[in-house]
Amino acid sequence: MEQVEAVYVVGDIHGCHKELIHLQNNIVKDAKKRSGAKLLIYLGDYVDRGPNSFGVIENLIAESVALHHTHFIFGNHDELFLSFLKDSLTPVRPNGPRVDKYHWLDGPIGGAATLRSYGIRGVSRRTTAEIQTDFIAALPTKHIRFFETLELHVRIGSYLFIHAGVRPNVALKDQTLDDSIWIREPFLSSTIGHGFIVVHGHTPTDQVDNRGNRIGVDTGACFGGKLSCLVLEDDDQGLLTSEGIVPSPESIDISTQTSR
């Protein structure tokens, strides 16, 4: 990794504040052993489903001014959060198309859990317009600013850090917002080389999913799984635990695979 001794990559947090603090303590403990520059990358989906989205955002705003450099990636749940502030009935992107896939208050999306963490109660008994009005009033300006300044992706050396993934055979500059924050297939099953190793969240798995051409770091913290942290050191890929760094799952060899 260029001019960076270690890159710590954190998977989808989804309102799991306690798990985030525990993981951050492990990162600090490991980082103290290193003299070189450290970089933290959070892969998006900071809110929804878990019990304390408000606490997560407060934590990450403080994290953004820490001594180490930090990148915060934009996820699909972060888009739904912002969209609800602009249009309570149908999520809408600024200067872009409507997001018709899901609504933030749909049960599985988990927006109601986020609202509770901001002190908004009785969601099921109120109109969406009423909820939106109260949410806007309760939402600190610094929280809005945090979401509005998230990055779509970050490329460092041979790695691309992005929330959901990329569409195979499409140049990075031609990837759509939907590709970056919503894609699953054909990305997940693709075995071709993308020109970089894609490190992503979005699709939960029981453990960090290292396929060689991509590494999935969402291990379902909001579903009772772990909040995982991938550690990249030059060409080494490890996982951070309370006891230190352990090897990541074996990568498959993509050196002979086509990049079509």
The answer as to whether 213 is a domain residue is yes
User: Strand order of the sheet with strand 197-200?
Assistant: 153-156, 159-162, 197-200, 214-216, 209-210
Pairing of the two strands 209-210 and 159-162: unpaired
**3-state SS, residue 67:** coil
Residue 96 sits at φ, ψ, to 5 deg, of: -150, -175
In the chain, how many domains are there? 1
Has residue 14 been placed in a domain? Answer: yes
Q: Within a domain: residue 253?
A: no
Q: In what order do the strands lie in the sheet with 38-42?
A: 69-72, 38-42, 6-10, 229-233, 236-241, 244-247
Looking at the domain assignment, is residue 243 inside a domain? Answer: yes
Helical ranges in 8-127 per DSSP H? 17-31, 53-63, 76-86, 111-117
For residue 76, give both structure tokens. Answer: 């699909």
**Do the domain assignments include residue 260?**
no
- pTM for the full predicted model: 0.90
Residue with tokens 């407060």: 58
List the pLDDT tens digit at each of the 260 positions of the chain.
Answer: 557 789 999 999 999 999 999 999 999 999 999 888 899 999 999 999 999 999 999 999 998 777 578 999 999 999 999 989 887 544 444 444 444 567 888 889 999 999 999 999 888 888 888 999 999 999 999 999 999 999 999 999 999 999 999 999 999 999 999 999 999 999 999 999 999 999 999 999 999 999 999 999 999 999 999 999 999 998 899 999 999 999 887 644 333 333 32
Range of the domain at 211: 6-247
Q: Is residue 184 part of a domain?
A: yes
User: Residue 168 maps to which CATH number?
Assistant: 3.60.21.10
Query: Does 195 map to a domain?
Result: yes
Identify whether 257 is part of a domain. no
Residue 118 · residue 135 · CB < 8 Å: yes
Compute the CA torsion angle 229, 187, 170, 83 (nearest 10 deg): -70
What is the reported pLDDT for 129?
86
